[in-house]
Structures are given as structure tokens and as C-alpha cells.
Structure 1
Amino acid sequence: MSYTVELDETDQICNLKVNGRLNIYNIKEFKDIVSPIIERVPALIVDVSEVIEFDSSFIQLFISIKNYAYSLGHIFKITSHSKPILDLLDMYGLVGFFADKVVLSAAQRSEFKLNYGTSKLPPNLR
């Protein structure tokens, strides 16, 4: 496994801390861990501060989890965004979709624009 997961779960909330690499090679394994949690607990909070690799397959998975949680009336939040995650959220303009609080250092403020929608798309595609 190229990542580790630490769980702290009650009947109302699950705090999940992820360390390592989240990529196409381990997406099914991660989904198998998270899917039952989102079904049984009203809130899943994922701390990704120690994630060192995050590819577009995981963006798709997180979108799917967020939508599934919403359909159940549950909450899915991402916290403590690491640089690889900020890179993709910024690239795809998904900060607004996830609606999670993003804390940036002074240095990161100039690096990330964190568009909240489709403003990065060419005007004819908006």
C-alpha cells in the first residue's frame, strides 16, 4: 500500500487522516475503505495534509463520494489540503464544488488562484 489511513470514528462523524500517495493504482482499495464509512456515518472528514501524490482519478472519486454523501443527506469534507491536492483543485476549478475551507500560506496565495468555477475555461466553453 502506498498510503496509510488513520480512522477516528464515532456514530456521528468519522475523521480520516490519509498519508502517502493517492493514485489510480490504489483507488479501488481506497474506495472500498471509504464507501461503507460514508453509508453508516453522517459526516466524513478527510485530512489530506500528508498526501504527497494525488491524481485526477482521485478527483473523480472525491466528486463521486461528495455526490453520494449528498444523496444520503451526509457530509463529505476535505481538510488541510496538501500541495498536490491544491494543484488539482486549482487546475480544475473545483474549490467551489467541494466548498471546503482552504487555508493558504502567504507563499501559496500567489501560487494558487483557486477559481471557484469555470473561469479557467475558454469563454466559448463556459
Structure 2
Amino acid sequence: MIDQSDNSEPRVLATEAALAFLDKIRADHPDILFHQSGGCCDGSSPMCYPVSEYRVGETDVKLGEIGGVPFYISGSQFEVWKHTQLIIDVVDGRGGMFSLDNGRERRFLTRSRLFSGGEACPVPMVKT
């Protein structure tokens, strides 16, 4: 696993609405993580899983934490989004099929903005 969470500018943030929704999910599932979906069936939604039910891959990149919950993305997707800050929000609708937000009539949504200048180091750094 590659860790990008130590950079000065956060690579992932959450809105107040997303943090409040996250607290509701954690009431039922206290030990969780996020993984940014790469597409296919659930589009590119941030997926929320119990830690015990998701295996973080060797090439996954840890972008940081939101509300104390670790947030990962695949290494190949990080290469595409490495110049981008992810902003996790919540909107009405159904969550991803296997995500813990499913069935709650609200879902997490990824918004983004490009980093400017030297805000974040685009080169992955392995944390030992």
C-alpha cells in the first residue's frame, strides 16, 4: 500500500453533510474504510466497507482520512487523479451495491478540484 496522506495539502476532504452521514453509518458499523470505485457497475462512487470485509490491495494508495476513516484508491486510478483533490459529499439517492450507504436513501458522491502549483506532490511515496 502506498501512503499519500502525509502531504501538506489533503488529497481527500469531506463536506459537513458527508461527515454527518458517515457518523450515522459508523453507529451501525464502527470500523470502516472507503475505497474510490474505478467505475463499472457503481460508476465512480466512493464505496464504504467494513474493514473486515475489504482487503486493501498492495498497489492501492491511501489518500488520507475523512472523519477518522481511511480513504483508498487503486494505484492505476491514482495515476489519473494524482493532480486532483477529492471532496466527498452526500446526495439523495442509492449507494453503491455493496457500499454501506446503500439502502439509506442517501449516498456518497465524489467531487473534485485540480491542485494548483506545488500544492501536492504528484509522485507516490511508499510509507515504511
Q: What TM-score does the superposition give when structure 1 sets the normalisation length?
A: 0.29
Whose strand fraction is larger, Structure 1's or Structure 2's?
Answer: 2
Whose helix fraction is larger, Structure 1's or Structure 2's?
Answer: 1
Q: Comparing both chains, which one has the higher relative contact order based on Cα–Cα distances under 8 Å and sequence gaps of 6 or more? A: 2
